[in-house]
Structures are given as structure tokens and as C-alpha cells.
Homo-oligomer: A and B are copies of this chain.
Amino acid sequence: MKCPYCINDDTKVVDSRQVEAQIRRRRECEKCGKRFTTFERVELAEIYILKKNGSRQPFNSEKLRTSIRKACEKRPISLTQIEEMVDQIEAKLRNEDSIEIKSSKVGNLVMQKLRKLDPVAYIRFASVYKDFGDLGCFEETIDKLKRSGPNGRKQHISD
């Protein structure tokens, strides 16, 4: 790795840590002695999201994270759990055959995850994602949650 201060080619690693999905290395130039930080990151073909209105935009995990975070505000869900969801969802998308994915697929994956984790967050997300028009939609969803399988039964609907 080239030293950015003197363009010398030989630098050695002084420290190396895994930080989230990256490896941060602290390097030292063998020639000028200066130190600097590098990051190793995955570089994959971009995934594209196909929106309902026909538009196509590059998938951005940050947007996904933000929308999940919003749904989970004040709920007993840690940032770590949100990270896990984001990672798992992105991994699912990566395993698709096509690099073009319908936004509804992403939405459904989020719902799937939230449903198992927290009913309130689930309803919040659904209300935005499914574009609830009236209170009836909430009631319907709550009913479904109550009647639903193992995951649903374990939960309490309250706030």
C-alpha cells in the first residue's frame, strides 16, 4: 500500500480491527515513518431497486437502516438488532438471481423481520409501507397479528 505522504510503496500494518463490515488497518510507512488508516470494504455489483412507479434506483442500505430505525423508535430493539436485520436483508437480496429487485420484496422482508421482533414496530412500518388509509387498516392488522401463528401468539399488543 502506497504511503500517501511520500508515495513509497512499502508500508506495514501496525494494527488491524474489524469494525462493522469493514477492516480498519493502521499502517506505517517504512520510509517516512508516517502513519495512516486504511479501510477494506466489500465491493460488489450494485443492486437496483425497482419501485412501484417504475423508477429504478441503486439499493442503499443506509435508507433501509433509516426506515427500520424510524419504525423502531422508542421500542425495545437495539441498534445491534437493527444492524442484524439490515445485514440479513441485504444478504437475502445478494442471493437473488437478479440484481434488480422489486421494492415490494424488500418491504416484505422488513415486515417479516419486524413481525418476529416487535408488533408495534411492525404496525408502524406496515402503516407507512402498505399506506394505511384509515383506522380500519390498523385494526385489521392487529387482528391478524393476534390470530397469527407461533410468532404472533407470543406477542402482546400494547404500548
**Main secondary structure on A side of the interface with B:** mixed
A36 shortest CB reach to chain B, Å: 6
* Identical copies of this chain, number: 2
A86 shortest CB reach to chain B, Å: 10
The total of chain A residues at the interface (CB under 8 A) is: 27
- A24 (CB) vs chain B CBs: closest residue: B43
Q: CA separation between A94 and B1, bound complex, in Å?
A: 16
Known: A36-B44, A37-B44, A42-B36. A91 touches B5 (CB 8 A): yes
Inter-subunit contact B43/A40 (CB<8 Å): no
A71-97, CB under 8 A of B: which get 1 and which 0?
000000000000000011011001100
Inter-subunit contact A91/B7 (CB<8 Å): yes
A157 within 8 A of B: no
A158 within 8 A of B: no
A120 shortest CB reach to chain B, Å: 26
Chain B contacts for A41, CB-based, 8 A: 38-41
Chain A interface residues (CB < 8 Å from chain B): 1-2, 4-7, 9, 18, 21-23, 25, 36-44, 87-88, 90-91, 94-95
A-B contact pairs, 27 of them (CB 8 A): A1-B18, A1-B21, A1-B22, A1-B23, A2-B21, A2-B42, A2-B87, A4-B21, A4-B42, A4-B44, A4-B90, A4-B94, A5-B95, A7-B87, A7-B88, A23-B40, A25-B40, A37-B42, A37-B43, A37-B44, A38-B40, A38-B43, A39-B40, A39-B41, A39-B43, A40-B40, A40-B41
